[in-house]
């Protein structure tokens, strides 16, 4: 390393607290994205430090990739440049008014820690991620993560009231407000949702909170065919019932999730679950490292059928509301040719300390994408937005595409209009990888034919060199580039990670 490089790193180190600057091989390897490692890892413990680091990076033309717990950095394209991994170590609750249902928090707070505090006031925040409550608020917003509860509550865009972020020029910027009625001006803060840190470094966020229902219950309904499960979904959509969550699991997806349950082919240890939640598993596999916790981390086996389609219906409210759902759902299910209708069992220790769901099935389903990629490192997991009325045609087309390219497939459907599709080749060798790349392109086309849109959320780094994870070119790329230039004129924030190399 040259003297100038040493001097630059020394100046960078001086901007943060002692012990929050790392250049050792282990720290750099942990922050590696698709084979690209940073030159330094910086932990910022105040907003002022975030500002100073970004300003310094802009002056020195150093590329910065912000992160929280480094769980979801596999999303997006590989960085075009990567000099500084900036951890946003801000984890305070800035303000909370339970009576007004409003909340302001720093971006580095973990979702499970936040909901634990909200639970004291019988409230919660319906955010979600592929890694459960271990993800940070900033990371969930930057990746636009969502889960089963989007069926009733929507995504973060629907209850985010305001945001503070640092632009690529190191300017501390605010948008929106702290109360629901703050509607004046442009919703600039919503541009940050799903931008993967390419427009700004999120430092705090304001939300509307929601009351916890006094009673919840989940029903598992099994159907012999997809069309039967979709008929059940349509019947619910046209009824007065309002479930909190509604997911549909294919037999192949059930087989995958059942394999990590007690007695399954790939029952996960506590070590593996923690690695998966912290998104370190890929790097550890590549380096051949492991870490023992000395115990087996067991969860109740999920009630998923490996021969039929499983529909999960989450309900909540007072006892009368929950009972009405049960009473009306059962005949509705049997009218759609259900072979089984049962209520899921509540979670047992030690999982009751880790999840807030009324049954373990939601925890399995929530992490479907990350589990699929964890167990099948050669797989590509796509997220497809498609109208629910076109679920059947799209799923049949995708099944045909997978078979044509000699791939296994598994699907999870969110009834509001999202499909998670795992395509699994036989190996990472060149032949299967080329077939996987072509299959992904065919899925992009099938999504367009269904008036939808697809992206690859998880896949091997090698696949990203031949396929754009964001899909084919779009007409709004020029607009996106203009926004990037406004917020980050030097192009130092997560360069190359977003659509079109932004």
Contacts of 264 (CB under 8 A, 6+ apart): 258, 301
pLDDT at residue 299, as a whole number: 47
The CATH architecture of the domain made up of 215-277+299-366 is 2-Layer Sandwich (3.30)
Q: Where are the alpha helices (DSSP H) in 90-225?
A: 111-119, 137-143, 150-153
Burial classification of residue 24, based on how many CB atoms lie within 10 Å of its CB (0-12 exposed, 13-18 middle, 19 or more buried): exposed
pLDDT at residue 183, as a whole number: 52
pLDDT at residue 100, as a whole number: 94
The CATH architecture of the domain made up of 1-212+472-502 is 2-Layer Sandwich (3.30)
Contacts of 328 (CB under 8 A, 6+ apart): 239, 241
Rounded CA-CA distance 452/421 in Å is 14
Burial classification of residue 157, based on how many CB atoms lie within 10 Å of its CB (0-12 exposed, 13-18 middle, 19 or more buried): middle
Report helix, strand and coil shares of the chain as percent, to nearest 5: 35, 20, 40
3-state secondary structure of 233: helix
If we measure between CA atoms, which residue out of 128, 176, 173 comes closest to residue 155?
Answer: 128
> Contact at 8 Å (CB) between 86 and 42?
yes
pTM of the model: 0.88
The yes-or-no answer to whether 215-277+299-366 and 376-464 have a common fold is yes
Q: What are residue 273's DSSP bridge partners? A: none
For 310-349, the DSSP string reads EEEEEEEESHHHHHHHHHHHHHHHHHTT-SEEEEPPPP-T
Rounded CA-CA distance 209/159 in Å is 8
| Sheet of 408-414, strand order | 340-343, 215-223, 309-317, 245-249, 408-414, 418-424, 380-385, 453-458
pLDDT at residue 129, as a whole number: 83
pLDDT at residue 502, as a whole number: 93
Which stretches in the chain have pLDDT values below 70?
1-4, 179-186, 261-301, 348-356
pLDDT at residue 429, as a whole number: 87
3-state secondary structure of 310: strand
pLDDT tens-digit series, residues 68-98: 887 788 899 999 999 999 999 999 999 999 9
Question: How many other CB atoms are there within 10 angstroms of residue 342's CB atom?
Answer: 12
Question: Domain coordinates of the chain in residue numbers?
Answer: 1-212+472-502, 215-277+299-366, 376-464
Rounded CA-CA distance 84/9 in Å is 10
CATH of range 376-464; options 3.50.50.60, 1.20.58.1880, 3.30.70.1130, 3.40.50.150: 3.30.70.1130
Q: What are residue 363's DSSP bridge partners? A: none
If we measure between CA atoms, which residue out of 296, 421, 314, 417 comes closest to residue 363?
Answer: 314
| Residue 307 in tokens | 């021969």
Rounded CA-CA distance 34/67 in Å is 15
> Contact at 8 Å (CB) between 107 and 68?
yes
* Phi and psi at residue 258, to the nearest 5°: -65, -25
pLDDT at residue 137, as a whole number: 96
| Residue 376 in tokens | 């099948």
pLDDT at residue 6, as a whole number: 82
pLDDT tens-digit series, residues 266-317: 444 444 554 544 444 443 334 333 332 222 334 455 779 999 999 999 999 9
The label of the residue with tokens 């595409």 reads: 401
For 238-292, the DSSP string reads TSS---SEEEEE-HHHHHHHHTTSTTSTTPPPHHHHHHHHTT-HHHHHHHT----
The label of the residue with tokens 């790193």 reads: 9
* R_g (Cα) of the chain, nearest Å: 23
pLDDT tens-digit series, residues 218-262: 999 999 999 999 999 999 999 999 999 999 999 999 999 888 765
């Amino acid at each position: 390393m040259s003297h100038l490089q040493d001097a630059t790193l020394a100046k960078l180190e001086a901007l943060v607290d002692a012990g929050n600057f790392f250049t050792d091989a282990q720290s750099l390897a942990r922050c590696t994205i698709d084979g690209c490692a940073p030159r330094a890892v910086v932990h910022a413990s105040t907003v002022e430090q975030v500002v100073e680091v970004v300003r310094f990076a802009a002056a020195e033309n150093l590329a910065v990739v912000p992160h929280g717990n480094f769980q979801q950095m596999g999303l997006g394209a590989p960085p075009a440049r990567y000099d500084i991994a900036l951890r946003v170590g801000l984890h305070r609750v800035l303000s909370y008014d339970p009576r007004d249902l409003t909340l302001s928090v720093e971006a580095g707070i973990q979702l499970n820690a936040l909901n634990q505090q909200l639970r004291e006031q019988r409230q919660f925040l319906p955010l979600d991620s592929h890694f459960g409550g271990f993800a940070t608020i900033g990371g969930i917003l930057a990746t636009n993560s969502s889960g089963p509860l989007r069926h009733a509550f929507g995504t973060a865009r629907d209850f985010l009231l305001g945001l503070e972020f640092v632009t690529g020029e190191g300017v501390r910027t605010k948008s929106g407000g702290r109360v629901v009625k703050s509607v004046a001006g442009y919703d600039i803060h919503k541009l940050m949702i799903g931008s993967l840190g390419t427009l700004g470094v999120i430092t705090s966020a304001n939300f509307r909170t929601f009351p916890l229902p006094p009673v919840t219950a989940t029903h598992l309904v099994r159907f012999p065919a997809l069309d039967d499960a979709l008929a059940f979904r349509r019947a619910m959509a046209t009824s007065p019932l309002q479930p909190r969550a509604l997911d549909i699991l294919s037999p192949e997806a059930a087989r995958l999730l059942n394999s990590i349950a007690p007695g399954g082919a790939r029952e996960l240890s506590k070590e593996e679950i923690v690695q998966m939640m912290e998104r370190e598993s890929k790097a550890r596999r590549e380096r051949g490292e492991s870490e023992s916790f000395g115990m087996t981390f067991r969860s109740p086996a999920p009630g998923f059928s490996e021969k039929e389609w499983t529909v999960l219906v989450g309900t909540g409210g007072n006892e009368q509301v929950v009972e009405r759902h049960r009473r009306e759902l059962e005949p509705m299910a049997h009218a759609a040719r259900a072979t089984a209708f049962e209520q899921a069992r509540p979670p047992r220790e030690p999982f009751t300390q880790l999840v807030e769901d009324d049954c373990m099935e939601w925890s399995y389903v929530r992490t479907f994408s990350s589990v699929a990629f964890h167990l099948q490192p050669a797989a590509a997991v796509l997220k497809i937005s498609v109208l629910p009325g076109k679920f059947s045609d799209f799923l049949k087309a995708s099944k045909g595409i997978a078979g044509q390219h000699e791939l296994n497939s598994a699907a999870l459907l969110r009834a509001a209009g999202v499909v998670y599709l795992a395509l699994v080749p036989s190996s990472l060798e060149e032949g299967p990888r080329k077939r996987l790349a072509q299959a992904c392109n065919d899925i992009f086309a099938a999504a367009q034919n269904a008036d939808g849109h697809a992206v690859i959320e998880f896949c091997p780094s090698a696949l990203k060199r031949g396929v754009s994870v964001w899909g084919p070119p779009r007409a709004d790329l020029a607009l996106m580039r203009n926004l990037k230039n406004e917020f980050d004129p030097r192009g130092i924030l997560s360069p190359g990670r977003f659509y079109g190399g932004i």
